[in-house]
Chain A
Amino acid sequence: MSWPLNRTLTGLLLLIATNSAYCETSAAPFVSGFDRFARHAEIEPQTGGKLLISELSCTACHQTQRPDLQPKRGPRLTGVGDRLQRKWINDYLASPHSTKVGTTMPDLLHNLPENKKQQTIKALTAFLMAQHAEFPTIKATGANPVPHEFWKKGNVDLGQELYHKIGCVACHEPDEAYEPGETKISPTDKMLSQLDPEEIKELGLAATVRPVNSVPHGNLPAKYTRKALTFFLLDPELSRPAGRMPNLKLKAVEAADIAAYLLRNQTEANAVSDTSNNAALIAEGQKLFTGLKCVNCHEVQNRKPEQYAKPLAELNAQATHGCLGKAQKDVPYNPLDQQQRTAIQQALDSLSQENNSEPKQQLAFQMLQLNCYACHEREKLGGVGFNRKPYFETANHIDLGDEGRIPPTLTGIGYKLQKKWLAKVLNGKGDIRFHMQARMPVFPEKQVTSLPDRFENADQSQKPQQDEKVFPDHEKLASSGRIMLETGCIQCHPIRGESMPGVVGTDLGDVTNRVHAKWFREFLLDPGALKPRTRMPTFFPDGKSQNKALLDGDVDRQIASLWSYLKAGPKQPLPEKILAEKSKNYELVPETRPIILRTFMQEAGTHAIAVGFPEKVHFAFDAEQVRPAIAWKGRFLDAQGTWFIRFAPPAIPLGETPVLFPAGAPFALLKDKNQPWPVSAPDQDDVQFRGYRVDAAGIPTFLYRYQQFEIEDRLEVTEKQTLKRQLKIKNNHSSGAPGTLWFRGLTGKTLKPLNPGTMQNQAGLSVSISKPLAKAGELRTNDKETDWIIPVPAADNTTIEVTYQW
């Protein structure tokens, strides 16, 4: 197949696609909220009209002080010459409404004589193409991969998948060829899909099943370069400060993938940007840009508008000439349809009569402008469209019902969520539904900063109460709350990142920082009342507790205890069942043979080698100071920190009754018996650790060297839960250093001989050595510490047996 033919075919295909788009859609500007709600009388016509006034940026010329009616305005055109293709700009200026069907930009050149129009377009295009700005540098870090020229490396398939999964299709057209994964459709939806339109109408459910139209993309391959679209997706606010296209928190490669997908039909030829330069033409274009009032909507080079039209308040809704009429000379032309025109007229009429609207209406209006309704339902308005629901999935298709895959309702959200948490969510830092594929996007701060207050004002009949008011004296109940959680909560919710196996849900660890105490209480008492069709079961049917034993079955105190426990955070241990689950994965439980773990330990240092025995006596050897350092009984260790936690926390003995061994090396050559036990500095390895061997029973023998002595040190556990230590000392006399070799048996504040071979310290650790050896032992006190030292016979090979008991 040769290239030209291929191209012709693609062209044909595009033509057909464009034509079919013409058949279906009118050229009228597309405004989601208007199209979805005003057209079907689900909002008042004047609200729809007001929406058009702001979204069509009427007030960019017809100024008003009203904050709600400030114009959306068009994209910022800084650097547009590096972003868009010359031909597209040219075509768009010539005929905005056919080049991008549904665009909200009016046609400003419609009434110019043809040659003047061509010249104007040429000049404006030249001016716009001369706008250059470097694309921002995307900061790469160890946590953020940014491949070189990532915009060239997008993957169409991955892009298609992202586009259909993360929420793009809440507003934009899905690809018919894309099949969403298998998702369990809710029974209600299933029933609805089986009814015929008449029945649906009769049931009053028309709005629920009505397909939601898409915000048109226009011909993206003709418009953008791949780089430009990638950077636009990474930070839409940069060129569209109104935030109608929010930021979906894409990684660099994800943006490149989606751009590659959206531009998959782009041939290389038309993606080349133009750099031709004609100073006179550019200057002319610059003048026109202001003169034609492009500047009223589009920011470029910090230019300011110079002229406005009649202020909004002075407009005559019934005027036969002007923007609302047919295309007229010197008036911007918007191909409004009759319904849109009427709505704007009604809005204009209502402006003079209208006092300040209710907070609830203000909020709803803002949600219409930002199209929150594309994803979220609030007070029976909006929500993911019926035809879009299949694209909303959970990760790995876990069935959590619709609430696991569809963005949550905002009905009563100001009653439910704390204001500061709402703000966090809107700032893009409140992701808690990791099972949900759709992402909560980030809107420009300016656009949403008033929302938390508005939600609270609209949904709280009175100021939210402090949690002390809702749950008086709850602090004391935390430990009961820990038990309460086990009655059900942890079957579906993780706590602070830990959970029962297979549990996928929102983490409750932080819930007291998210929801109001009052809502928490009411929700627990009757989940369905606050959240219809939720999968959250009722644990207090008829307001009664199932658990009569805890807190006397007092429902109020039981709920308060949950709040209290969750509020205490890490100050309270995780629920017992979760801890048990965690230890199943990471607790080392020696069953038939010893288990060894090299790790960091508080008492055994950074060269610790812990040895756990099935007999439930364990010790840790310090391979730096070369000595057993600590022993304990009961449970051994949790290995999670050592194995998998990045910050390498020290392992903590899980068992009881830890006892410490003498600090410093077990052996020393002393000039005389009064010489203090040497303390080895970290840079002097007086004793060299040489490793260990593991015998057939799995017990390690530690090997070390001290001067001319080779030492083998082996500890095992006896049936009586004592530690039996065998020290084999080989004396290589040839390299002998002077002095007697001493073994330090025990140290302590006080030492007490129990019998001729046994010594016990104040901590209860007693040490036994064979009587003949012990006979030559010395007790000495130095600096408030007493130690018991035993001389080692000067034979070539000596074995000392020591028993530790506590």
Chain B
Amino acid sequence: MSNSLEPKPVSAPQLLADRFGLDVDALEATLGTALARRADFADLFFEHRAVHSLSLEEQLVKKAGQHVVQGVGVRVLAGEKTGYAFSDDVSSDSLRLAAENARAIASEASSSRAVDLRRATPRPSRDLYAVDSAALLPPLAERAALLSRIDREARAVDSRICNVMASIGVEERLVLIANSEGELVADRQPLVRLSITCLAEDGGRREQGTTGGGGRVAFSFLAGDEERAIRFAREAARQAIVNLDAEEAPAGEMTVVLGPGWPGVLLHEAVGHGLEGDFNRKGTSAFAKLMGERVASELCTVVDDGTIASRRGSLNVDDEGTPTQRNVLIEKGRLCGYLQDRLNARLMGVPATGNGRRESFMHYPLPRMTNTFMLAGEDAPEDILRSVDRGLYAVSFGGGQVDITNGRFVFSASEAYLIEGGKVGRPVKGATLIGNGPEVLKRISRVGSDLALDEGIGTCGKDGQSVPVGVGLPTLRIDGITVGGTQA
């Protein structure tokens, strides 16, 4: 991007008036209603989200869509209790009704507290994603032209590419948070995502390759000089072609080398979820009693950082208005931090870490990850591969999942190769890898110097709520994890 990232914080009162037709008085009155019973905290979350989608398949730009979501959620906290009500109508009457419903969890009467939202709320002066609306969303014809080019470039890779499915989603999310501490903060969150799936067919065998990328960026991130979209298109096609030759994957415990970037989904599943404050407050996480303990080899330092400019998982403030920050979760193998929203931070007596996130106004916040990655080590990636006599080299993954209570996690490779005598050999079919979070990270014996963050396609699901996230990893070697292929 050529534009410099000048701080352009959104004015909360202005947004309130322009987008929702309300003034600060109405918010103070609603918070007063919410606090009419004995409560610890109340907040209002206003959201306006416009999503523009366009997709291509079979060489035609077939689908265009436009979706506008707008509403407000009212939350009241009393002890460990949460009352939540939301409405897609943001009139004063709806706000009062929602506040009355949300406060039902607090039973004792109390004199209502007045909330003053006119004090200046400290917020980061930075803007991690200053993209104006025109740069975010070019005309439909321009987006359609890029999809058609993606189709041509992917097909040009190999004549066996028989279908290309590509879609571009461009989103602009405006949020405004007001709470009983007198904080009033607004943010404008752009998000661009391109996803591409190529299908290859050869003599009756069909395989696919999937890639994509994006972030909180201008559209030119995809289509501009760097031509990332074209690189993604060729990459999806290449992956589909590689998979045409993939053999059955091995089954059993073996040494695995993970490539840089998206394989960081390992960290997201193996440790990230287990360090979210809610599970640890409740004592239902396998990491619940391990603070300060060794949970990974000393080569491992893992951070969750919501402050990286333009990243899909980044936010100026989280969905409770707390500025995001860089949180070290594991330092040289020792567990040193949890991810917190306000409720769990208060109940555990620690500061909020800027990780309170929600899918939309229809959901209450939960402790969630932002961009989760491992810091680079010292080994050259080639040396790591050379160190393995027999094993699996996995470079691309689909999703993963974890049972936070027993710590068992899975993540599924979509492009992988056998390592034979220190060399990358034949491609094998996708397979699920399974391990135990607190144990597998202790078996990391080599960490590469090539830290990369993913291209910007990750979405994390928890309790039915999806939020955009990022992951990252340098090349690393795990001395033993179970690979779920078919060749026993």
Q: Are A and B physically bound partners?
A: no
Point out residues on A near B: beta carbons under 8 Å.
none
Point out residues on B near A: beta carbons under 8 Å.
none
